[in-house]
């Protein structure tokens, strides 16, 4: 009996020992970099307990502008000091002579330090390459001059580029097969999110030294440089943004106190975003409180008379633009007398230049009698409906979208509205259910300027490996679907120029700009009120120079009273700024 009990106890002990052994093997051998459901990197955590480190580069990929200038970060050569210096006799006087920092300031900063740091608060003191070589030539343990990556506090085109953050649950959902630390940064909005898979870090670059429990050097004062040593990663995302133009555009938007709205500037030749500004400004400390994280340039808005460009295109291709036919612009769209905008009898061209609602309401009704889908067909031909951002198959990803959060435009919501003559009239002037994004409106202007050729809009031109070679290219691509004829495009170009050169045109303010401009204004009732006042969306969309189109520009101010918030001055100053940049 006692022998069976002894054997049973022995088996239990052996079984427990095997379990412990398996657990130990799991910890020490198999799951060292992704232990437990939290994917804890045991090697990193073990090292952290007996080391102090300064991260030089977090390893996540970077965003560059079209000229290779960093957008989300900057690299600066800084003086790095380790806290164990307080326990050694180091040549602080020579370091002070080279850097220009006082000896007392250097000693005080080291004395108060508990971990390695880049000297200077809140902004580290930047050193020249000559100073860096001099510092490192001293070979003082714990004193280094290195190029360190810093995240920018103010990022240009912030809503377009997006944010990163730690989210263990989302990380596991996105990358179930990857062994990543829970603290890995992932993109949570904008291009940071859409390009997240390419931006994931291979590892950090850092300076490390070993310490005992009291923070004293454990194995002497040798500092190690740890680097993933991968010549290909992290990658750089080469955007189409021009950093200089973007920063000037943001200054102008803020100068004109646009609280909600912004602008989109496209390069017509390669149909890419040169600048994109969205307001309100993002609050990085609490981005989801308020509308700051929303990119208003990718959200559908009521566009008002800008949509008359679509109605005009449909009228031209259906021979409804006879210059001898006059429209009664002393009447509103519903036939009642027009008190505020009493223009008298106008032909098609003058109606467009002066933005007569009556004319385009009547034309929309005539078009609807021919085909109830006519306005939608031409909105599609001019790229106002559907997505316009670049999408396609790349690398190992099918149907990749640079702008997955982009809204699609629309003309009608219901078939009932589509077949109603009064709703058709309201839609013909860009009211009722008509919606479009500022990005798609800019693309419409670029399409017209190119003679009717509609293309996808690029915000990124390529992904580059760390060594500068190309990983993925994003070539120019046509948008699928029917297009307007070259003849219609030519007629629209003349109409948009007439808006500016006509003495009574709604864009006459732009007649004497350094670049000849063409475009269309828009003022749309939003249905919202503030202090008893009807609020409006105010637009001007156009392109320039007129004869050799280079830029398409949309400026928009959302939810402002009728007597406030015009965008003409903003549009004009953008044209002047671009002229100055180019000359």
Positions marked catalytic? 305
**HSE (side-chain half, CA atoms, 13 Å) at 306:** 35
Residue 29's alpha-carbon distances to 34, 182, 420, 525, 575, in angstroms, are: 11, 20, 72, 66, 63
In the structure, how many helices (H) and strands (E) does the chain have?
19, 21
Residue 447's alpha-carbon distances to 30, 271, 388, 450, 575, in angstroms, are: 57, 9, 11, 5, 19
Residues paired with residue 117 on neighbouring β-strands, in sequence order: 81
Other CB atoms closer than 10 Å to residue 372's CB: what's the count? 17
Please tell me the distance from the alpha carbon of residue 387 to that of residue 457, in angstroms, as a whole number: 9
Could you tell me the two tokens for 4? 């069976």
Q: C-alpha angle 99/104/105, rounded to 5°?
A: 60
Could you tell me the two tokens for 266? 């496209």
- CB of 48 within 8 A of CB of 226? no
Please tell me the distance from the alpha carbon of residue 163 to that of residue 464, in angstroms, as a whole number: 21
CA dihedral angle for residue 85, residue 87, residue 89, residue 95, rounded to 10 degrees: 20
Q: Where are the beta strands (DSSP E) in 211-287?
A: 224-226, 236-239, 261-267, 272-279
Please tell me the distance from the alpha carbon of residue 123 to that of residue 529, in angstroms, as a whole number: 45
- CB of 279 within 8 A of CB of 260? yes
Please tell me the distance from the alpha carbon of residue 386 to that of residue 440, in angstroms, as a whole number: 9
Strand order through the sheet with 533-544: 272-279, 261-267, 551-561, 533-544, 518-530
Could you tell me the two tokens for 449? 């300027």
Residue-wise over 395-417: b if at least 16 C-beta within 10 A, else e?
eeeeebebbebbbebbbbeeeeb
Phi/psi at 530 (5° precision):
-140, 125
């Amino acid at each position: 009996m006692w022998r069976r009990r002894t054997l049973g106890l022995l088996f239990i002990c052996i079984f427990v020992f095997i379990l412990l052994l398996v657990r130990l093997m799991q910890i020490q051998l198999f799951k060292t970099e992704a232990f437990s459901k939290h994917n804890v990197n045991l090697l990193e955590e073990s090292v952290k307990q007996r080391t102090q480190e300064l991260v030089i580069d977090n390893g996540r990929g970077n965003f560059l502008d079209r000229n290779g200038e960093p957008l989300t970060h900057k690299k600066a050569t800084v003086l790095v000091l380790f806290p164990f210096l307080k326990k050694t006799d180091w040549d602080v006087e020579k370091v002070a002579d080279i850097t220009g920092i006082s000896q007392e300031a250097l000693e005080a900063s080291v004395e108060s330090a508990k971990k390695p740091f880049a000297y200077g608060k809140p902004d580290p003191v930047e050193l020249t390459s000559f100073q860096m070589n001099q510092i490192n030539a001293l070979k003082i343990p714990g004193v280094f001059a290195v190029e360190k990556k810093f995240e920018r506090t103010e990022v240009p085109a912030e809503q377009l580029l997006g944010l990163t953050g730690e989210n263990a649950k989302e990380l596991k959902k996105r990358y179930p097969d990857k062994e990543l630390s829970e603290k890995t940064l992932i993109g949570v909005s904008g291009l940071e999110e859409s390009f997240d898979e390419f931006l994931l870090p291979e590892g950090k670059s850092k300076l490390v030294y070993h310490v005992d429990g009291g923070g004293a050097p454990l194995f002497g004062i040798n500092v190690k440089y740890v680097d993933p040593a991968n010549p290909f990663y992290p990658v750089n995302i080469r955007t189409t943004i021009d950093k200089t133009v973007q920063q000037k555009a943001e200054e102008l938007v803020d100068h004109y106190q646009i609280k909600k709205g912004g602008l989109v500037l496209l390069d017509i030749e390669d149909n890419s975003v040169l600048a994109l500004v969205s307001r309100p400004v993002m609050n990085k400390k609490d981005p989801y409180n308020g509308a700051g994280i929303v990119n208003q340039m990718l959200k559908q808005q009521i566009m008002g008379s800008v949509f008359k460009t679509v109605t005009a295109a449909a009228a031209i291709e259906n021979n409804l633009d006879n210059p001898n036919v006059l429209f009664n612009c002393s009447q509103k769209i519903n036939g009642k007398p027009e008190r505020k905008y009493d223009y008298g009898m106008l032909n098609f061209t003058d109606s467009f230049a002066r933005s007569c609602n009556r004319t385009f309401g009547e034309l929309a009704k005539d078009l609807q009698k021919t085909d109830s889908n006519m306005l939608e067909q031409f909105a599609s031909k001019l790229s106002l409906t559907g997505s316009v951002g670049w999408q396609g198959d790349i690398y190992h990803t099918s149907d990749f979208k640079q702008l997955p959060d982009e809204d699609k435009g629309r003309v009608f919501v219901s078939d009932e509205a589509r077949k109603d003559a009064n709703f058709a009239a309201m839609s013909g002037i860009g009211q009722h259910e008509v919606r479009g994004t500022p990005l798609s409106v800019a693309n419409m202007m670029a399409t017209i300027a190119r003679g009717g050729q509609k293309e996808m809009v690029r915000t990124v031109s390529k992904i580059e490996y760390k060594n500068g070679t190309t990983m993925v290219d994003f070539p120019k691509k046509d948008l699928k679907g029917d297009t307007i004829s070259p003849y219609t495009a030519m007629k629209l170009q003349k109409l948009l120029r007439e808006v500016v050169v006509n003495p009574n045109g709604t864009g006459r303010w732009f007649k004497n700009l350094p670049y000849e401009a063409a475009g269309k204004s828009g003022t749309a009732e939003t249905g919202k009120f503030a202090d008893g006042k009807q609020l409006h969306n105010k637009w001007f969309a156009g392109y320039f120079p007129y004869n050799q189109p280079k830029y398409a520009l949309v400026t928009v101010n959302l939810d402002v009273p009728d007597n406030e918030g015009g965008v003409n001055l903003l549009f004009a100053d953008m044209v002047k700024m671009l002229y100055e940049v180019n000359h």
